[in-house]
Copies of this chain bind each other. A is one copy, B any other.
């Protein structure tokens, strides 16, 4: 098997770190206890392992292809997506009212990980659809909801996010796509005509579903300049007639797809809106893609952030997913490949390379980082569920603030670490890793998009500094630190050598974190360059600390459970992994602190013309 879903680790995280029991007490989640979680995860694992994972290599070898405006996905993708839809997987976390299963994110996130570990390119289509669903649920009119949601939730149609334009990547203030309000008439009523070019549209065109629901940022004529003049529109590939049947082709076309470093099976489209596509509504109604306003005019950025935040969390989970896939492949190779005698003289013949200390160090780095990021994502998912479903408003607000703080860490840290992990995955394979047939290189290539799309690591880091740390005067950040200190005390009380070592490293990392928070609070206003020069190191420090903290909590739980004698092997592995993380990864936080606190001046010292 090319991928085995880490069910035990996922369930352990839900039960012991994320507090699934608490989530299952929330209104609407009464059925979502550990038994349900286990049943859902087992079913999802079967699908991911059996149906989706085997298509991963095929997608890299025979990517999506474009011809005459149509995109043909890799052979097998269409059928697999049908199974995905029929299995109800698209609706896992979405409301039962629209055909979903209404499960908490705490459970859903594990399924997202499996699907992505199985096949990052394939899983991107549902990931974007989830974002479109979130946006419509939050800001769509009743009519839009009635027209689109059930089809999206059941996987009959898919969704996209259309933000980027050639001149507007991270900078949405530069968006130029324009929307012209239409007057009355059968088609024009309350609708807009859109004109413009969008690039980097994931699954912007494909053959896996009957219709594609584009969510598009555009500027209504006369709107204010900059981000305050951006509105959000639904632009379906095929118009939807009353009663739900598919109508005419809309005036939106895929003019090309990109030739990419990785995730090759996932078509990245250039979409042209309102170019007068022959055979579309343009023939009868003149050029212009029919679009329908989501929410109110000029509030598009706000709605887009709903999609972005759902997607950012999910991209962080993609980081965990691809890291685990790379780890599993490297570990399997290291147990098989025989090279060289062990340095400790324990054998006179060549041995499997997993016996060599540096191979072990690489595998442990991959494993510990993956488990740490998975645990962080699990607790963030629970915070999301509590933030949205807790009956008490104050509790909701508190969990929302914690979730918001964690999103840039889940997205930024997990995806940056996925670079290191997939890179080590190639390295463990030696020369074989550089040969494409081995497959390790694909994970490395696929992973490279993760710290870029849905907001680069720098964008996440600016968000973390500005909106998540400075704006509340460091309150949420310090709240986390206080909880971490409690974990340190528990570990010290526990007293095993592993617990003590982890407590020591955790303390050092927490103090480094607090020092940076103080520094940022002191400098963000007066010397913004000095503060933002350290934004990414701060993100990496905070993410490292959060992942290390969750592993520290896991270690403590494992030490408590061990005497009972069940799952001893798993628990001992967890202790070894958590300790490794603290001693080899968490220790990096000191240098990150130094970079932020002592190094700001040298970041900006070289004049631009000297680069």
- Quick check: is A565 within 8 A (CB to CB) of the other chain? no
Give CA–CA (A514, B558) in the complex, Å: 37
- Quick check: is A82 within 8 A (CB to CB) of the other chain? no
Contact check: which of B334, B350, B436, B590 meets A260 at CB < 8 Å? B436
Q: Which residues does chain B contribute within 8 Å of A451, judged by CB atoms?
A: 427
Q: Which residues does chain B contribute within 8 Å of A467, judged by CB atoms?
A: none
Contact check: which of B343, B434, B457, B602 meets A576 at CB < 8 Å? B602
A364-B606, A462-B343 as given contacts; A357 in contact with B580, CB under 8 Å: no
Q: Assess whether B436 is in contact with A261, with CB atoms less than 8 Å apart.
A: yes
| Least distance between A323 CB and chain B CB atoms (Å) | 15
Q: Which residues does chain B contribute within 8 Å of A532, judged by CB atoms?
A: 343, 356-358
Q: Which residues does chain B contribute within 8 Å of A173, judged by CB atoms?
A: 340-341, 350
* Stoichiometry (number of copies): 2
- Quick check: is A93 within 8 A (CB to CB) of the other chain? no
Of A168, A536, A599, chain B has the most CB atoms within 10 Å of the CB of: A599
Q: Assess whether B441 is in contact with A448, with CB atoms less than 8 Å apart.
A: yes
Interface positions of A from 531 to 562, Cβ below 8 Å from B: 532-533, 535-537
- Quick check: is A196 within 8 A (CB to CB) of the other chain? no
| Least distance between A540 CB and chain B CB atoms (Å) | 12
Of the stretches A294-302, A481-489, A581-589, the one at the interface is A581-589
Q: Assess whether A435 is in contact with B588, with CB atoms less than 8 Å apart.
A: no
- Quick check: is A16 within 8 A (CB to CB) of the other chain? no
Q: Give a binary string over A144-180; 1 marks a CB under 8 Å from any B CB, 0 the rest.
A: 0000000000000000000010011111011000000
Q: Assess whether A434 is in contact with B419, with CB atoms less than 8 Å apart.
A: no
- Quick check: is A359 within 8 A (CB to CB) of the other chain? yes
Q: Which residues does chain B contribute within 8 Å of A583, judged by CB atoms?
A: 594-595, 598-599, 602
Q: Assess whether B261 is in contact with A445, with CB atoms less than 8 Å apart.
A: yes
- Quick check: is A185 within 8 A (CB to CB) of the other chain? no
A335-B608, A354-B611 as given contacts; A430 in contact with B170, CB under 8 Å: yes
Contact check: which of B170, B427, B569, B591 meets A340 at CB < 8 Å? B170
Give CA–CA (A445, B354) in the complex, Å: 26
| Least distance between A358 CB and chain B CB atoms (Å) | 4
Q: Which residues does chain B contribute within 8 Å of A584, judged by CB atoms?
A: 595, 599, 602-603
Contact check: which of B361, B426, B432, B452 meets A434 at CB < 8 Å? B452
Q: Assess whether A533 is in contact with B602, with CB atoms less than 8 Å apart.
A: no
Complex: chain B residue closest to A573, CB-CB: B610
Give CA–CA (A598, B505) in the complex, Å: 11
- Quick check: is A271 within 8 A (CB to CB) of the other chain? no
Q: Assess whether B258 is in contact with A435, with CB atoms less than 8 Å apart.
A: yes
Q: Assess whether A606 is in contact with B423, with CB atoms less than 8 Å apart.
A: no
A-B contact pairs, 6 of them (CB 8 A): A171-B339, A258-B434, A261-B435, A441-B448, A584-B595, A590-B591
What residues make up the interface of A, taking CB atoms closer than 8 Å to B? 164, 167-171, 173-174, 200, 258-262, 331, 334-335, 338-341, 343-345, 350, 352, 354-361, 363-364, 367, 419, 423, 426-427, 430-437, 441, 444-445, 448-449, 451-453, 456-458, 461-462, 501, 528-529, 532-533, 535-537, 569, 572-573, 576-577, 579-580, 583-584, 587-588, 590-591, 594-595, 598-599, 602-606, 608, 610-611
Q: A262-B434, A361-B603, A430-B456 are in contact. List 15 more A-B contacts (CB 8 A).
A: A169-B339, A169-B431, A174-B350, A261-B441, A357-B529, A358-B458, A360-B533, A360-B606, A361-B537, A367-B611, A434-B452, A444-B448, A576-B602, A580-B602, A587-B594
